[in-house]
Amino acid sequence: MQVIVHGGAGTSVDEPVPRQATLDEAADAGASADDPVDAVEAAIRVLEADTRFNAGTGGAVQSDGVIRTDAGVMTSDRDAGAAASMPGVEAAISVARAVMEETPHVLLNGVHAVDFAADVGVDVECDLWSEDTQQRWDDLDDHPEGSPLDHLEWIQDKFGTTDPEGRDGEASSKDHDTVGAVAFDGEKLAAATSTGGRWLALAGRVGDVPQIGSGFYAAPAGAASATGAGEDIAKATLTRRAVRHLESGLDAQEAADRAIEEFGELTGSSAGVIVLGSDGTVGEAFNSEQMQTARR
């Protein structure tokens, strides 16, 4: 089983060594799985359980003080499932897989996705707050009240910023630490991505991660998982773009490089992508400061 996992693209990270150890553990979990879907789920579950990554436990808090998780998964047979905006759900990837395998749909969201998760045996009462997230939330001088427009005004200089008061306007690495995995067993491919969102997004915001062709994509030619500035990834359909380059004859590294180059030209923003081709080639590219990965 070929597997590549990523731990997010962004600025330089705290604790890079233990983070890399967790990524290596995730890749090992995926490589020992029986099929590609098992592989990407197993890999991502390791990352969702580690507060160093912005997925599952340790996700980013939204403007109403709630952490909501999103995930998506797709196979080269074009089976797909996603789940979004789920409070209290650490194993978002397992919910996305259940949507793919147990329903006629490709996306469930909100409280109904949480109810579905409970019905299929996924824990829905998890404490998703890390000490770091709690401290960042507590350090804010105020918390918004009122209508969505009141919240929107409050987040204008805070969305995605590393400083609690938004003074420096720079994105924290933690805000881009979406996790993802792609796997190939020689016949079938799978791609999956999971996230806890971005810091101080408007309550209910959903980014690229559960959108097919944006945060994740798979087709007979290959599979890809993305990370970075979610709104721009969605507008550029980054993973579909990468796989399209595989379909045009590029190998995985060439496809990843070309997709990120185009993404930067189109958006002026930062992102990363991992790519696995049906020819067995593997690629990764990013235009941010860093993107930690592991391969098996």
At residue 269, what are phi and psi to the nearest 5 degrees?
A: -110, 180
Q: How far apart are CA 73 and CA 37, in angstroms?
A: 8
Residue 178 designated active-site:
yes
What does the DSSP assignment read for 122-179? ---------HHHHHHHHTSS----SSHHHHHHHHTTTTT-SSTT-SS-PPPGGGG--E
Catalytic residue among 178, 195, 239, 293: 178
Q: How far apart are the first and last CA of the chain?
A: 8
- Measured at the CA of 63, the angle between CA 59 and CA 64, to 5 degrees, comes to 95
Tokens of 216: 């994740």
Query: What residues act catalytically?
Result: 178
